[in-house]
Chain A
Amino acid sequence: MAVEKLSLLRIRAIAAGVPVAWVLSLAILMVAVGGFRSYAGQEQTDSAQQPLLLRLLRESRAPYHTVAVRFTQTKRLAILDVTLRSEGMIFFRRPGLIRYEILSPVRSLLLHDTRKAQCYAFTEGRWELLRSPGATAVGRVLRQIGHWIQGDFDTDQKMFHLAVLPWDQGAGCIRLTPRSEGLAEYIQGVSIYVDEAPDYQVRRVVIHESDIDTTELLFRRERRNKPIPERTFVSPDASEACVDFFRQTEPDDPNDTETPPS
């Protein structure tokens, strides 16, 4: 079933001219920021086997209706000696509103309103809505994530083997490895590092696209259940208010600093 869904996603994504890795990376990123509810949910079908950390994660993050977080994304291609570091922020509100914005070195934006996704690029001094056939595929993935975040796991895609490993700086590391060879062509694995109790905040995600290619996300300044600026989920023009939001609201974790842990 999972393989069939993956194949369908792959075909649709390719037909739309969207790299599958793009869609999958986005899915993993959103799932991670959404509080692991997807993976916790997948384990619900087999609760006896469910790792304790996943249960604690699900329980600790259940009360949050909104989540906003800043992140640093570092892309490394070792074989070409190329590194790209980006800064961004993610806003989420139930039932499935998502704002995913890159602030530098380029500015780009993805909005999802439970029905469709819109892709924007800031180019030549203004936001431009892209005519992107790929937005349909992205929207499908985001809609699925919205279901997960709401606790609807009927359409789960068991795409990954999941293991919880010890992590000396936090509660643990969740290691995801693809179940299918098809998926493994695009993503070799994902490591998700989680803080200690009581927040179980996601601190770091490492996506191994291939032997030569990793993407690391460091999350910081998480805000939970704070009033989100108006138009966050509908307009690129809310960008400034979203940046200010992190300046004007107190961090949930008093130890959370501007600079991400290395």
Chain B
Amino acid sequence: MKRLTCSILLLGLMVVGCASPLSLGPAVDDPARKASLLQSCHPPDVSQAVFRTVVRWPGRELSLTEIVKPQPDAGYSVVGVSDVGSTLYAVRISPDGQGEVISKALPFSDRWLLDGFVAELLVPWLCPDQSSELHELSDGTEALVQKDGSVQRVYLFDASGQWVQFHRRSGRRLRCQVSLEWDGQALPMTIRVENPQKHYQAVRENVSGE
């Protein structure tokens, strides 16, 4: 009984945690600070990025290689390849952000692939713009918040001004949380994804130079 109670409490805490992961203070009017943060998270200037990805669902794991190729027209080609070379998905993102699934072998919907899996991979390229608002968090760190209808994109920075996390929220619900680990390169060394909506975690390691 005690164990059950603990489990329920833990589950409750997790749900609450997912529903309100952030405590953003009011918007801060500090144009210089905002400009500084915007400048620190520019899209990486790379011709092609390659990631080793491991995706974990409850009781199931998948490894794949993902390639992001920025196109001259400002769109992106994004491809997931199995370890034996077959295509798991191939997606084209147009310059205006519209996605098109060219081929897909994963048993997931196009919408999930575009709005979830691929969008999370493209986080380092999808930086905030001038329309974002600067917020201060309770721990003294800062965030840029960009609103698109009911969807809120939150870019979190550490004390040194390094972009370290991205949250996508719909209303009060956290749709995904992406952590970025840097080693001084144009791209994050590791991208960690938590997607509570689709119940998976992904670890993406940048292997572009290998």
Pairing of A with B: yes
Tell whether B114 is near chain A: CB-to-CB under 8 Å. Answer: no
Which residues of A have CB within 8 Å of B52? Answer: 105-107, 121-123
Which of A73, A124, A132 is close to B85, meaning CB atoms less than 8 Å apart? A73
Tell whether B119 is near chain A: CB-to-CB under 8 Å. Answer: no
Tell whether A48 is near chain B: CB-to-CB under 8 Å. Answer: no
Binary per-residue interface labels of chain A (20-37) against chain B in the complex, 1 for a CB within 8 Å, 0 otherwise: 111011100100000000
Tell whether A108 is near chain B: CB-to-CB under 8 Å. Answer: yes
Contacts A80-B90, A123-B52 hold; do A212 and B84 have CB atoms under 8 A apart?
Answer: no
Tell whether A200 is near chain B: CB-to-CB under 8 Å. Answer: no
Which of B48, B65, B86 is close to A21, meaning CB atoms less than 8 Å apart? B86
Which residues of A have CB within 8 Å of B79? Answer: 77, 80, 82, 84
Tell whether B158 is near chain A: CB-to-CB under 8 Å. Answer: no
Within 8 A of B (CB), among A61-77: 73, 75, 77
- Looking at chain A, what size class is its interface with the partner chain? 35 or more
Tell whether A176 is near chain B: CB-to-CB under 8 Å. Answer: no
Q: Is the CB of A14 within 8 A of B69?
A: no
A246, chain B: closest CB distance, angstroms? 19
Which residues of A have CB within 8 Å of B77? Answer: 77, 80-82
Which residues of B have CB within 8 Å of A106? Answer: 50, 52, 63, 65, 83, 207
Q: How many of B's residues come within 8 Å of A, CB to CB?
A: 36
Tell whether A235 is near chain B: CB-to-CB under 8 Å. Answer: no
Tell whether B205 is near chain A: CB-to-CB under 8 Å. Answer: yes
A224, chain B: closest CB distance, angstroms? 23
Binding site for A on B (CB under 8 A): 48, 50, 52, 54, 59-63, 65, 67, 69, 71, 77, 79, 81-88, 90, 92, 102-103, 105-107, 190, 203, 205, 207-208, 210
Can you list 23 A-B contacts with CB-CB less than 8 angstroms, sorted by A residue number? A14-B107, A17-B62, A19-B105, A21-B87, A22-B105, A25-B82, A77-B79, A80-B69, A80-B92, A81-B69, A84-B79, A84-B81, A102-B83, A105-B208, A106-B207, A119-B63, A119-B83, A122-B52, A123-B54, A123-B203, A130-B62, A213-B87, A213-B90
Binding site for B on A (CB under 8 A): 14, 17, 19-22, 24-26, 29, 73, 75, 77, 79-82, 84, 86, 100, 102, 104-108, 110, 119, 121-124, 128, 130-134, 207, 209-210, 212-213, 215, 217
7 smallest CB-CB distances across A and B, nearest first, come from A19-B105, A121-B63, A80-B77, A106-B52, A108-B83, A21-B86, A130-B61
